[in-house]
Structure 1
Amino acid sequence: MVPRPTLREWLRGLPALTGDLPEVDPYALPADPVQAFEEWFVAAVSAGVPEPHAMTLATADAGGRPAARVVLLTDVADGAWVFSTDARAGKSRDLAANPRAALTFYWQPLGRQVRVAGAVRLLDPEECAADFLRRSPSARAAALASRPGEPLRSVEDMVAAVGEARARVDRDPRLVPSTWQLWAVEADEVELWQGDHDRAHLRVRYSRDGDRWDRRLDWP
């Protein structure tokens, strides 16, 4: 019997940067990182990148213990990257205790990453409610049924809770839970990273300086 490769051997044998990697002129990128992000996002959608709005959100609690998870970008408004969550979720507790966050987008078919870091702020209740009501009935039912972080006895319990919540949504389509939140990451640093087959990766870093942005190239 041929021995199965070890995990290390598998990892070493996996290809990287296999997509159709575009060339980027760093000096042609917009001076505003929000505009640059939007241009790259449109390119990701046009290239058929799966779920380009998925991003890794990294937070830290009051003691500095980090946590990361994948969430969906809700909007980019007033120069801030916006996402939603439940006030009972661990990320909300982290952000309330340590109001800074980092985001990472990875668009593999293009070999591109975008990193965003900065302070966070909680949007007002009216904006949170409007966001919740824009969601599909199924998404609203799932949010209403959720009990973030609590032990779940069985999958059947979750299915039953979601079914009951869907009935509530159908009876009252304007129902909004008081725990629904929108958080905005007000970036003070944005990095656009373009992978290269020859490993001459491009890093363009934007850093906020008061009301303006400084832009520079960094070694990969």
Structure 2
Amino acid sequence: MPSVDAATPRGTGNLRELLRALPVFPATLPTFAPEQAPDDPVALFTEWLLDAVRAGVPEPHAMTLATADAAGDPSARVLICKDVDADGWQFASHAGSRKGRELAARPSAALTFYWQPLGRQVRVRGPVTRADAERAAEDFRARSVGARAETLVGRQSRPLGHPDEIEAAVRAQARRLRDEPNLVPPEWTVYTVRALEVEFWQADRDRRHLRLAYRREAPESPWTRQLLWP
């Protein structure tokens, strides 16, 4: 394999060679028997998530959230999954953030979890609903003081003049929290992706990847299962 130093941006050829030489999957991969999968994708997701935790996968609850604006232009970012239950996959954000604004315009999203040491990914897609204010307040108060102070600044995704502005703004909000420890911004929102599609992808070193897709017509409809070509 070429060294990283050989891939310095003096030309695209070296970088291309480096990328093609990088390993994709670990030497040992877990097995997956789709015919034994449960009827509900939440049960299988929970099983795979716990496998990732037991395997020591860093931040196994991290996921990519993809949204789209009113014009249909997509954006994506990595954030933390807060919970998964019968209603769906939950995350939290400030409603004034870019993702919050996009979800207000188009309340639908896609999630991707990737556990590289296991060669597994899970893809989730469906409409997004907002939890009530009580649930949002509970989530916000469970955050660290630093995270709450940063959120109270309320400027996520806005232009920043200088990094020093961040420290000053967060310190001001931390002082505010000392005076009002139960303060919750009304914009803090817990979102739930009520999945219509959930796909489980198990890698195979010979590229005979196993893909099992769960689909339903509406959030209250029963699930159907279908194997997909790699």
- Secondary structure at the aligned position of 2:39 is classed as coil
Question: Which of 132, 138, 154 is the equivalent residue of 2:140?
Answer: 132
Question: What are the ranges of 5 or more consecutive residues in structure 2 without an aligned counterpart?
Answer: 8-13
Sequence identity percentage: 51
Aligned residues: 219
Question: What residue in structure 1 maps to residue 100 of structure 2?
Answer: 92
**181-190 or 10-19, which deviates more:** 10-19
Determine if contact 1:89/1:149 at 8 Å carries over to the other structure.
yes
The CA deviation at 1:146 is 4.0
For residues 60 and 198 of structure 1, what CA distance do their matches in structure 2 show? Answer: 35
- Secondary structure at the aligned position of 1:4 is classed as helix
1:218 aligns with 2:228: yes
The CA deviation at 1:19 is 5.5
For residues 71 and 39 of structure 2, what CA distance do their matches in structure 1 show? Answer: 36
Alignment of 1:184-203 (within 5 A): 184-203=192-211
CA-to-partner distance for each residue in 1:154-188, whole Å, 9 max, x for gaps? Answer: 11110111122222222221010111111110000
Question: What residue in structure 2 maps to residue 101 of structure 1?
Answer: 109
Question: What residue in structure 2 maps to residue 120 of structure 1?
Answer: 128
Q: What is the CA RMSD across the aligned residues, in angstroms?
A: 1.6
Alignment of 1:15-164 (within 5 A): 15-18=23-26, 20-164=28-172
For residues 31 and 108 of structure 2, what CA distance do their matches in structure 1 show? Answer: 32
Question: What residue in structure 2 maps to residue 11 of structure 1?
Answer: 19
For residues 58 and 112 of structure 1, what CA distance do their matches in structure 2 show? Answer: 19
CA-to-partner distance for each residue in 1:69-95, whole Å, 9 max, x for gaps? Answer: 111101113331011111111111111
CA-to-partner distance for each residue in 1:165-213, whole Å, 9 max, x for gaps? Answer: 2222222210101111111100000000001112111100000145211
For residues 52 and 146 of structure 1, what CA distance do their matches in structure 2 show? Answer: 28
Determine if contact 2:62/2:81 at 8 Å carries over to the other structure.
yes
Q: Which amino acid letter does the alignment assign opposite residue 148 of structure 2?
A: R
Determine if contact 2:29/2:204 at 8 Å carries over to the other structure.
yes
CA-to-partner distance for each residue in 1:34-63, whole Å, 9 max, x for gaps? Answer: 111011111111111100111000111111
For residues 20 and 106 of structure 1, what CA distance do their matches in structure 2 show? Answer: 16
For residues 61 and 176 of structure 2, what CA distance do their matches in structure 1 show? Answer: 29
- Secondary structure at the aligned position of 1:187 is classed as coil
- Secondary structure at the aligned position of 1:212 is classed as coil
Q: Which amino acid letter does the alignment assign opposite residue 172 of structure 1?
A: E
Question: What are the ranges of 5 or more consecutive residues in structure 1 without an aligned counterpart?
Answer: none
For residues 195 and 208 of structure 2, what CA distance do their matches in structure 1 show? Answer: 27
Determine if contact 1:188/1:207 at 8 Å carries over to the other structure.
yes
For residues 78 and 100 of structure 2, what CA distance do their matches in structure 1 show? Answer: 14
Structure (1/2) with the larger strand percentage = 1
